[in-house]
Chains A and B, each alone.
Chain A
Amino acid sequence: MAYEIVKRPHVENFVRWSKFKPEVVVLSADLTSSCEVGKFRDTFPDRFFSFGLGEQNMLGFASGLAREGFEPWIHTFAVFIYRRPLDQLQMSVAYPNLPVRMVGFLPGITTPGGVTHQAIDDVNVMRGIPNMTILETGDATEVESVLEVAHKINGPVYIRMLRGEISRIFPKNEVMEFNKARVLSTGTDVTILSSGISTEEALRAIPALKEHGVSVQHLHISTLKPFTDPQVIESLKSSKYGVITMENHSVIGGLGSAVADLIAEHGIGKKLIKIGLKDTYAHGASQKYLLHKYGMSARNLIEATEKLMDKNLQISEEELSQTRVIDVHSTAKAEAL
């Protein structure tokens, strides 16, 4: 399927959205253009604060600003939010339940920057933090509309954010809704739940599955915590053969684990296959290469469906929609990372 490609939607959108919200301030740790807030800095210099390479301190400043009624929007790479300054995140921001918005770029294997830049267990870590809300963007419409969802939450919010060239999968007016999955197809054989960029990958395989007679229930998840959407529970119940989760994250502690919790808690008793990084780090390479190397591609979704149904569906490579190859040196990216 050919989607509209939107270049750096956050750049203009964030400036537009925050224009009449004087309480919104941006905190950055030397990754301003990389996180698409260079325009915000230039437009509202009085609301932009540079902290250099010092994320622990930056999280503390965010706490202080939030305690005084400001709404800090931290922009940096996800690994420098949940991994490096975790104690500050927990004690200065999460414990007091402060409205700090943490916009984490480069989720999972979306960067060739390698293991240091790839946030592969951020959802796992963040799910365990009391008071935390976790949102994930899967296309340009969600990159745009996640701002308003986060803004309305009384407490800290972590966002898995996309940047650069992003597909618009969902119509621009069909905005992200808090704790509400998007039902992308309805069916009764298998239930597929995908999040983030894995939804685009799943959508490469699902038409072929349907062509071969599989009745697919497909939900796109953008709120990973809380995870209490009744639609999700109903979808898990209705699947004949079982459930497949697909996420740009470790199979431990992310969407797959959240679904496993629901299956057990509601006594649903369905088989579950979790597609994601199988308890491994990745390395620096293109998204397409990494999706294949680590078993997170459309082909792996076909195989998982076959396994659940105990059936060879004989779907050829040609039947899968084309992978959108993102140019690593695209002008939509500020730097090589």
Chain B
Amino acid sequence: MSISKSNTQVDIEKIASIAHGIRHRVLEHTVKNNGGYLSQACSSAEILACLYTNLVNLSPLSAPLEPRDFVNVPSKNFTDYITGAEFHGKKGPDLDRLFISPAHYALVIYAALIETGRLTEKSLEKFNKDGTTVEMIGAEHSPGFETTTGSLAQAISQAGGVALARKLRGESGKTWIFMSDGEFQEGQTWEALSAISFHELNNIRIIVDVNRNQVDGPMEKVMSIEPLIDRIKSFGWDVDKIDGNDINQILQSGFSAKDKPKVILGYTDPAKGIEILKDRPDALHYVRFANPFEKIKYNNFLKAWK
């Protein structure tokens, strides 16, 4: 694996601190609201920190943006609708695009946007509040989102269409998709993997948070998708299997490329950084405290955490 120049300039400590910030904000929010998508923050914090700081070539913002109030859904009479893509900066032919597929990671995405200076810090106060775009499950008006993919596995095809359009226009920018491993249970994902490879959309990069957990529990008990690397490789993709909580590995894999579309399978720990989550191994999808004692336990953890 070759390491590109930009990788040598990377401040690993800075990325680690952003990853910590993501976890901290999500834990804080979870304790305050008695629930949240906490384990997703634990598993994906390093991946998102790497994407937003180094891997995805997004145009910078001069200052963090305020989330907008919700106005209306797109329609023929309302064409001026908001796109959450504005938090990814201006588009450009040589710039990258980033599509967030698992929309229930919204809280984690908002935290990542705050940590990387794209969303104002107080925005999380609006989370899941009526009339805002800072929704619990992100839609295309929510900060960081460009598509409406709460029904999973639909971002990959839409990003495929965007990448195809960009290829037709001769644009050099890459199209990134952040996915969750549960989406590899959906047939559409495999249709899309076939189509992207068949149409040689080699500027597509998918990075997957393989946390091996889903709503009903561990994936191996619900519906195993392994061996995932072999399955995806057999669809004509370049695939790396890495430790998705290891910043060096994420960057190394993210910067290396063959003349193929690429999937990075980041195997992650859904309790990373918040080890007390391991006390509830089969119920990680959405953390809602079972009793006041559990809430106190997490609150104590938060207070002791730097």
The yes or no answer to B160 lying at the interface (CB within 8 A) is: yes
Classify chain B: how many residues form its interface, as a range: 20 to 34
B164 touches A64 (CB 8 A): yes
Q: For the complex formed, measure the closest distance between the CB of A164 and the CB atoms of chain B, giving whole angstroms.
A: 29
B191 touches A57 (CB 8 A): yes
B164 touches A61 (CB 8 A): yes
The yes or no answer to B156 lying at the interface (CB within 8 A) is: yes
Of residues B156, B158, B159, B187, which shows the largest number of chain A Cβ atoms within 10 Å of its Cβ? B158
The yes or no answer to B161 lying at the interface (CB within 8 A) is: yes
The yes or no answer to B195 lying at the interface (CB within 8 A) is: yes
A64 touches B158 (CB 8 A): yes
For A72, what are the chain B residues with a Cβ–Cβ distance below 8 Å? Answer: 161
The answer to whether residues A130 and B160 also contact, given A60-B154, A87-B151 and a CB cut-off of 8 A, is no
The yes or no answer to A54 lying at the interface (CB within 8 A) is: yes
A51 touches B195 (CB 8 A): yes
Name which of A92-100, A174-182, A210-218 contacts chain B.
Answer: A92-100
Mask of B257-290 contacts with A, CB within 8 angstroms, 1/0: 0000000000000000000000000000000000
Q: For the complex formed, measure the closest distance between the CB of B51 and the CB atoms of chain A, giving whole angstroms.
A: 19
Mask of B141-152 contacts with A, CB within 8 angstroms, 1/0: 000001111110
- List the B residue with the shortest CB-CB distance to A95: B148
A49 touches B199 (CB 8 A): yes
A97 touches B74 (CB 8 A): yes
The yes or no answer to B79 lying at the interface (CB within 8 A) is: yes
For B165, what are the chain A residues with a Cβ–Cβ distance below 8 Å? Answer: 64-65, 67-70
- List the A residue with the shortest CB-CB distance to B169: A68
B residues 158-175 near A (Cβ < 8 Å) are 158-166, 168-169
- List the B residue with the shortest CB-CB distance to A130: B75
Report how far A91 CA is from B159 CA in the complex, Å. Answer: 14
- List the B residue with the shortest CB-CB distance to A22: B168
Mask of A63-106 contacts with B, CB within 8 angstroms, 1/0: 11111111010000000000000011001100111000000000
The yes or no answer to B112 lying at the interface (CB within 8 A) is: no
Of residues A49, A56, A57, A87, which shows the largest number of chain B Cβ atoms within 10 Å of its Cβ? A57
The answer to whether residues A65 and B161 also contact, given A88-B154, A130-B75 and a CB cut-off of 8 A, is yes
The yes or no answer to B192 lying at the interface (CB within 8 A) is: yes
The yes or no answer to B303 lying at the interface (CB within 8 A) is: no
For B76, what are the chain A residues with a Cβ–Cβ distance below 8 Å? Answer: 97, 131, 153-155
For B73, what are the chain A residues with a Cβ–Cβ distance below 8 Å? Answer: 95, 130
The yes or no answer to A202 lying at the interface (CB within 8 A) is: no
Instruction: Find B74's partner among A56, A92, A95 (CB 8 Å cutoff).
Output: A95
A61 touches B157 (CB 8 A): yes
Report how far A131 CA is from B76 CA in the complex, Å. Answer: 7
The answer to whether residues A54 and B191 also contact, given A87-B151, A91-B154, A92-B154 and a CB cut-off of 8 A, is yes
For A154, what are the chain B residues with a Cβ–Cβ distance below 8 Å? Answer: 76, 79
The yes or no answer to B140 lying at the interface (CB within 8 A) is: yes
- List the B residue with the shortest CB-CB distance to A62: B161
Report how far A56 CA is from B195 CA in the complex, Å. Answer: 11
The answer to whether residues A64 and B163 also contact, given A57-B157, A88-B154, A88-B157 and a CB cut-off of 8 A, is yes
A64 touches B161 (CB 8 A): yes
Q: For the complex formed, measure the closest distance between the CB of A167 and the CB atoms of chain B, giving whole angstroms.
A: 33
For B192, what are the chain A residues with a Cβ–Cβ distance below 8 Å? Answer: 57, 60
The answer to whether residues A61 and B187 also contact, given A91-B151, A131-B75 and a CB cut-off of 8 A, is no
Chain B residues with a Cβ under 8 A of chain A = 73-76, 79, 140, 146-151, 154, 156-166, 168-169, 187-188, 191-192, 194-195, 198-199
- Nearest 9 Cβ contacts at the A-B interface: A64-B161, A60-B157, A68-B165, A57-B191, A54-B191, A61-B161, A64-B162, A97-B74, A56-B188
- Between-chain CB contacts (< 8 Å), 12 pairs: A46-B168, A56-B188, A57-B157, A57-B192, A59-B157, A63-B158, A68-B162, A68-B169, A96-B147, A97-B75, A97-B79, A154-B79
Chain A residues with a Cβ under 8 A of chain B = 46, 49-52, 54, 56-70, 72, 87-88, 91-92, 95-97, 130-131, 153-155
Q: A61-B158, A64-B157, A96-B148 are in contact. List 11 more A-B contacts (CB 8 A).
A: A49-B164, A49-B199, A57-B160, A60-B158, A60-B161, A64-B164, A65-B162, A68-B162, A91-B154, A92-B148, A131-B74
